[in-house]
Amino acid sequence: GKNGDFLLNGMVIPRASYIPALQTRLASAAQKIVFISPNAEAAYPFLIEAFEGARSAGASARRPCAGTAGCAR
């Protein structure tokens, strides 16, 4: 959210629980992919925190791509 709340599958997650919650979800995932969709009014540091938290939780680092042609696999 714009105030720095994180949502995981539509549920508000306290910021202190964000990484452990992602680690739990990613532990059994075959593909460790996290999609981050920021609130339009969210401060940039919250977006960076979300990206870094996902990476810390074990998500794969991928480049964003437009469309399906030429996407990194």
Identify which of 11, 3, 8, 30 has the alpha carbon closest to the alpha carbon of residue 19. 8
Could you read off the pLDDT of 13-57 as tens digits, one per residue? 988 999 999 999 999 999 999 988 888 888 889 889 999 999 999
Q: Parallel, antiparallel, or unpaired: how do β-strands 6-8 and 11-13 relate?
A: antiparallel
Rg (CA), the chain: 13
For residue 73, the model assigns a pLDDT of 46
Task: Answer yes or no: is pLDDT of 72 > 80.
Answer: no
pTM: 0.74
